[in-house]
C-alpha cells in the first residue's frame, strides 16, 4: 500500500442496470438519502453514528465507528456503483443482518451537495483513505447522469489506534433548497409541527435501525434481540430514538407466519388520535429498517369507514421470508401470495381493533355517566384504567362537567345500582363486585379495586353516592323504590318514618316522560310536605309560590 499523501486517482464504475433504477425517481427525500448513509454505517458494524448539520457552513457531517474501509475496499467496492451483494443469510459478529444489497447507498446524497468527502480507516489498519467525489458531476438539472468518473484520494497514517475503525462523510456545499428546507421555522406539514429540521429528525427516527426510547422497555423487550448489538444515533449532539407516539398502550402482540414469511408485530393505541398523522397505521420493518411509511393495508379502500383507525399504530417486523422481495425503492415488497395473506391479516386486525375501540368508547361513556361527579376522582379513574375497565379520557369522549352533573340528577335510579350495573357489565367475571355499607370518610375513594383479589368494593354510604334534596331548609336523603302509582295517593314519593329520607317511585309515569327528573322530584316532595304540614291558607299559597320559584329558578 502506498502510504504517502500523494494524490491518487480511482475510477467510479457503474453497473448500467443501476441507472434504470435510479431513473425511477429514487431518493426524492433528503432525510431518506441520509438514512441510506446511516444504513451503510449499520452494515459496517457501527454502534454509534453521529450526524452534524452545519447549515451555516453548508456542510453535513456523518461519522460512524464501524469497520471502515481499506484502500482496496474503497476502490473496488465503495466506488463500484451497483456492487450487488446477496442478502445475508447469517448474522454478522454484532448479530445483525446486512441491510444493503444494491450498492447504491452512497449515491443517495449526491443530488443534494456539490461534493462528497469521505475519510475512512479500516479497523486493524494504520492508514486512512480520504477521497473527494464531485457530486455535481452525477446529478445535473434534476436528473441523474451516471457515468464512469475519476476520484482523487489520498492515503495517510491515521491518528486513531490501530484497532479502531471509522468513516466520516462530509457533504459539502449542500444545495440551497436543503438549507431552506431544514432551517424553515414554520409548519411544513399538517401533522409534524415545527421546523423542517424537526421533520428531518422525525424521518431519521422513523426509518433508521436505531433504538427504541429507554422509557419503552415493553417494546425493547418484545422487539429486541439479545444477541444483536443495537446502533445509537445522535443528531447535533443529541441522541435520537425511534418515534413512538406518546402514551401508547399495547393492544396486541404476536409472532405469526404466513407461508414462508414470519413476522413479529404489535398494535398500539394512545386512546386518542395518533400524532403525528404520519404514524397512523402499522410500520413495516425489514431488518429493523422502515419499509415505506406506516400503512393501513388499504383497509379504507375497501369502502369501510373506520372511525377509530386514526387511533391505531404499531410495528410489523419481518423476521424471515422477504429478504429477496424488497423493491429497489425500499417502499414495498413484491406482491406474492404470502405477502397478500399478510396484508389480509393486518387488514382484519385493524378492522377488529377499530371495532373494539368503538365498543370501549361507548362502554367508557356509560361508566363516566354512571360515576357522575366521581369521575373527577383521579384515584378511581387510575385504578379503573389500571384494571383495563376504563380506556378513554372524559375529554376524549367529550363529556363535560355539566353533562356528568346532570347525569346524576336526571336519572331516577340509585347511583350505586347504576355503577354496579355498568361495572358488572364491563368487568364480566374477571372481578367480583362487593357492596359495602357503613360510614366512610369523604376523603377515601368511593370505589376501591383490588387487582390481587380481583374485587371491586363500592362503599354505598360514601357521600359521593348519597343523593340529597333540600326543601324549606330541611335536608332529605333520596332513595328509590317501585310501587303501583294508581293504588296510593303517594304516587310520586313518600317520606320515611323518621322523616329524614324521601323515597321516590321509579314507576311513576312522570319519571318516564320527557320532564326533567329534578323538577318532578322537587315538586313532588314540596307538595307532600306543604300539604301535610301547612294549615293556614295564606301560608299554603306562600309556600306553593316559594316551591314554584325554587323549582324553576335553575338551582
Q: Does 174 bind another protein (CB under 8 A)?
A: no
Residues 459, 461: Cα–Cα separation, whole Å: 6
Nearest CB to another protein, comparing residues 62 and 155:
62
- The residue from 135, 235, 313, 369 that contacts another protein (CB under 8 A) is 235
Enter the C-alpha cell of residue 427. Answer: 368487568
Site string for another protein, 62-81 (x = CB under 8 A): xx------------------
Sites for another protein among residues 112-131 (CB under 8 A): 119, 128
Span from 19-27, 51-59, 241-249, 400-408 in contact with another protein (CB under 8 A): 51-59
* Terminal C-alpha separation, the chain: 94
The Cα angle at residue 174 between residues 170 and 180, in degrees rounded to 5: 135
Distance of alpha carbon 302 from its chain centroid, rounded?
A: 24
Given a contact cutoff of 8 angstroms between Cβ atoms, the answer to whether 390 and 427 are in contact is: no
Cα gap 254→226, rounded to integer Å: 18
**Strand locations in 381-539 (E):** 432-436, 447-450, 455-459, 468-471, 474-481, 493-495, 501-505
Residue 51, interface with another protein (CB under 8 A)?
A: yes
| Residue 397 touching another protein (CB under 8 A) | no
Instruction: Locate all alpha helices (DSSP H) within 44-169, ordered by sequence.
Output: 71-73
The region of 48-56, 82-90, 198-206, 339-347 touching another protein under the rule CB under 8 A is 48-56
State the residue for C-alpha cell 310520586.
Answer: 492
**Residue closer to another protein (CB basis): 54 or 550:** 54
Please answer whether residues 356 and 269 qualify as being in contact, where contact means their C-beta atoms are separated by less than 8 angstroms: no
Pick from 142, 176, 238, 429: which binds another protein (CB under 8 A)?
Answer: 238
CB of 70 to another protein, least distance (A): 17
Q: Which backbone phi and psi does 401 adopt, to 5 degrees? A: -60, -40
Query: Between residues 63 and 522, which has the closer beta carbon with respect to another protein?
Result: 63
Question: How many Cα neighbours within 13 Å face the side chain of 300?
Answer: 10
Q: Which stretch binds another protein (CB under 8 A): 191-199, 230-238, 472-480, 499-507?
A: 230-238
**Of all helices (H) and strands (E), which one includes residue 338?**
helix 337-371
Distance separating alpha carbons of residues 417 and 458, to the nearest angstrom: 10
**52 touches another protein (CB under 8 A):** yes
- Whole-angstrom CA distances from 440 to 312, 326, 370, 419, 465 are 41, 65, 20, 18, 11
Beta-carbon contacts of 446 under 8 Å, excluding residues fewer than 6 positions away, are 374, 377, 380, 440, 458, 459, 462, 464, 465
Q: What is the smallest separation between the CB atom of 325 and another protein, expressed in angstroms?
A: 35
The nearest distance, CB 133 to another protein, in angstroms, is 17
Regarding 133 and contact with another protein (CB under 8 A), the answer is: no
Nearer to another protein, 64 or 315 (CB): 64
157 CB-side CA count, 13 A: 1
**Which one-letter DSSP state was computed for residue 86?**
P
Q: Is 182 in the site for another protein (CB under 8 A)?
A: no
| Minimum separation from the CB atom of position 49 to another protein (A) | 9
**With binding defined as CB under 8 A, does residue 234 bind another protein?**
yes
Segment lying near another protein (by CB under 8 A), choices 33-41, 45-53, 134-142, 487-495 = 45-53
- 237 touching another protein, by CB under 8 A: yes
Is 57:183 a contact under the CB 8 Å cutoff?
A: no
Q: Which of 19, 47, 58, 61 binds another protein (CB under 8 A)?
A: 61
Q: How many residues bind another protein (CB under 8 A)?
A: 18
Considering only residues 136 to 165 of the shown chain, the ones binding another protein according to CB under 8 A are: 158-159
Establish if 205 lies at the interface with another protein (CB under 8 A).
no
Whose CA is closest to 82, among 128, 125, 144, 142? Answer: 144
Does position 201 interact with another protein (CB under 8 A)? The reply is no
Q: Which stretch binds another protein (CB under 8 A): 60-68, 206-214, 416-424, 482-490?
A: 60-68
Rounded CA gap, 260 and 191, in Å?
A: 37
The three cell numbers of residue 53 are 448539520
Smallest distance, Å, CB 169 to another protein? 10
| One of 170, 284, 322, 464 touching another protein (CB under 8 A) | 170
Residue 236 or 482 having the CB closest to another protein: 236
Binding site for another protein (CB under 8 A): 50-52, 54, 61-63, 119, 128, 158-159, 168, 170, 234-238
Amino acid at each position: 500500500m502506498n502510504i504517502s499523501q500523494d494524490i491518487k486517482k480511482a475510477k467510479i464504475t457503474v453497473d448500467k442496470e443501476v441507472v434504470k433504477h435510479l431513473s425511477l425517481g429514487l431518493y426524492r427525500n433528503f432525510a431518506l438519502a441520509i438514512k441510506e448513509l446511516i444504513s451503510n454505517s449499520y452494515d459496517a458494524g457501527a454502534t454509534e453514528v453521529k450526524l452534524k448539520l452545519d447549515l451555516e457552513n453548508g456542510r453535513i457531517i456523518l461519522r460512524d465507528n464501524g469497520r471502515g474501509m481499506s484502500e482496496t475496499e474503497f476502490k473496488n467496492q465503495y466506488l463500484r456503483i451497483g456492487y450487488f451483494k446477496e442478502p445475508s443469510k447469517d448474522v454478522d459478529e454484532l448479530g445483525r443482518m446486512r441491510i444493503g444489497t444494491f450498492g447504491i447507498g452512497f449515491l443517495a446524497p449526491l443530488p443534494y451537495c456539490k461534493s462528497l468527502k469521505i475519510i475512512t480507516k479500516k479497523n486493524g489498519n494504520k492508514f486512512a483513505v480520504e477521497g473527494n467525489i464531485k457530486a455535481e458531476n452525477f446529478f445535473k438539472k434534476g436528473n441523474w447522469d451516471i457515468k464512469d468518473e475519476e476520484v482523487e484520494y489520498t492515503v495517510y497514517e491515521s491518528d486513531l489506534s490501530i484497532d479502531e475503525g471509522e468513516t466520516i462523510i462530509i457533504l459539502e456545499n449542500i444545495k440551497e433548497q436543503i438549507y431552506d428546507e431544514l432551517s424553515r421555522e414554520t409548519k411544513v406539514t399538517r401533522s409534524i409541527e415545527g421546523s423542517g429540521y424537526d421533520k428531518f429528525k422525525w424521518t431519521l427516527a422513523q426509518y433508521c435501525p436505531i433504538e427504541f426510547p429507554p422509557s419503552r422497555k415493553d417494546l425493547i423487550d418484545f422487539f429486541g434481540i439479545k444477541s444483536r448489538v443495537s446502533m445509537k444515533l445522535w443528531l447535533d449532539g443529541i441522541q435520537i430514538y425511534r418515534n413512538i407516539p406518546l402514551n401508547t398502550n399495547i393492544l396486541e402482540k404476536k409472532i405469526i407466519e404466513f407461508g414462508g414469511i414470519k413476522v413479529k408485530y404489535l398494535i398500539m393505541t394512545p386512546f386518542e388520535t395518533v400524532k403525528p398523522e404520519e404514524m397512523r397505521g402499522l410500520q413495516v420493518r425489514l431488518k429493523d429498517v422502515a419499509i415505506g411509511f406506516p400503512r393501513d393495508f388499504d383497509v379504507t379502500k375497501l369502502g369501510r369507514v373506520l372511525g377509530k383507525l386514526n387511533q391505531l399504530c404499531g410495528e410489523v417486523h419481518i423476521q424471515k421470508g422477504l429478504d429477496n422481495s424488497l423493491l429497489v425503492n425500499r417502499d414495498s415488497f413484491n406482491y406474492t401470495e404470502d405477502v397478500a395473506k399478510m396484508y389480509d391479516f393486518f387488514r382484519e386486525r385493524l378492522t377488529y381493533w377499530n371495532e373494539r375501540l368503538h365498543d370501549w368508547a361507548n362502554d367508557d361513556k356509560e361508566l363516566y355517566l354512571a360515576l357522575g361527579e366521581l369521575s373527577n376522582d383521579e384515584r378511581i379513574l387510575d385504578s379503573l384504567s389500571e384494571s383495563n375497565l376504563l380506556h378513554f379520557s372524559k375529554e376524549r369522549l367529550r363529556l363535560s362537567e355539566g353533562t356528568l352533573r346532570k347525569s346524576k340528577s336526571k336519572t331516577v335510579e340509585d347511583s350505586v345500582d347504576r355503577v354496579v350495573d355498568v361495572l358488572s357489565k364491563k368487568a364480566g367475571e374477571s372481578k367480583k363486585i362487593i357492596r359495602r355499607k357503613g360510614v366512610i370518610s369523604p376523603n377515601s375513594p368511593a370505589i376501591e379495586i383490588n387487582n390481587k383479589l380481583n374485587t371491586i368494593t363500592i362503599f354505598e354510604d360514601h357521600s359521593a353516592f348519597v343523593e340529597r334534596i333540600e326543601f324549606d331548609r330541611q335536608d332529605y336523603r333520596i332513595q328509590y323504590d317501585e310501587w303501583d302509582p294508581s293504588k296510593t295517593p303517594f304516587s310520586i314519593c313518600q317520606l320515611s318514618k323518621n322523616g329524614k329520607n324521601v323515597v321516590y317511585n321509579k314507576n311513576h309515569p312522570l319519571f318516564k316522560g320527557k320532564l326533567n327528573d329534578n323538577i318532578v322530584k322537587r315538586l313532588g316532595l314540596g307538595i307532600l310536605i306543604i300539604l301535610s304540614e301547612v294549615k293556614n291558607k295564606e301560608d299554603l299559597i306562600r309556600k306553593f309560590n316559594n316551591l314554584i320559584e325554587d323549582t324553576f329558578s335553575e338551582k
